[in-house]
Structure 1
């Protein structure tokens, strides 16, 4: 009996984070893109957080990501969020060796001031559909 291949899903936060760093810098907005809030906090930054998702097929993952944009003012936070939202729409393709099929917004931008720091923040949610990779496993005898 043939064994099924082992499929490993990509780290969606890492794939999207690498893409956004490059895309934001190319758009003239080179801000940190992180998975955890840095200490000390930069004046402006973007945080990605995976909040679940699902595998629609045995070889793909649809990661749900919350995307938060902090900046010195409400208007700057809005504009940074809008820029991230725009460039994220162009992510389909091969990114860092990972095939990204699509991005679907599941929650539009919302004003979400940071309750701990008081720093202005906007956020939105998206699902990123990407392909896993087959894990090379030794063949059994």
Structure 2
């Protein structure tokens, strides 16, 4: 028969919806939008680990882009504050217990377009569901 099957939800979609609602900027997953808006947030999956059978840390890279260094950094600070305040929320069917930064905000301008960008890494503690 086998063990119970636990599936983790789409944490990127959940975080995307959350940030888009509270930041009033475009939030995308995995790809830079075309055309590129002057200010936006990009979420990219970057692995993770299981804490238990039903609890998992899901890692993601969060890039904040802006028209200037100050604008991009302010957006990164807003993202950081909003994610750190995320507690025990069910978003798009995903239960997120909390989000924590993994390191700090790093200056990482786009090497090709020379556009201001700051990067930070986050871990999202989420709960899987039996399927």
TM-score range, shorter chain: over 0.9
Matches within 5 A, 1:62-141: 62-93=57-88, 94-135=90-131
Over the aligned positions, Cα root-mean-square deviation in angstroms equals 1.2
Check whether the contact 2:11–2:94 (CA below 8 A) recurs between aligned residues: no
The higher radius of gyration belongs to 1
Could you tell me how far 1:3 is from its partner in structure 2? Answer: 4.0
Could you tell me how far 1:82 is from its partner in structure 2? Answer: 0.3
TM-score (norm 1): 0.87
Check whether the contact 2:62–2:120 (CA below 8 A) recurs between aligned residues: yes
Could you tell me how far 1:5 is from its partner in structure 2? Answer: 1.6
Secondary structure at the aligned position of 2:104 is classed as: strand
Please name the residue that 1:13 is paired with: 12
Structure 2 Cα separation of the partners of residues 96 and 115 of structure 1: 34
Matches within 5 A, 1:44-55: 44-55=39-50
Structure 2, gaps ≥5 residues long? none
Structure 1, gaps ≥5 residues long? 25-29, 136-141
Could you tell me how far 1:97 is from its partner in structure 2? Answer: 2.7
Alpha-carbon deviations, 1:72-131, whole Å to 9, x = none?
A: 000000000000111111222222332211212112101111112110001111100000
Structure 2 Cα separation of the partners of residues 99 and 92 of structure 1: 9
TM-score (norm 2): 0.93
26, 33, 53: which is aligned to 1:32? 26
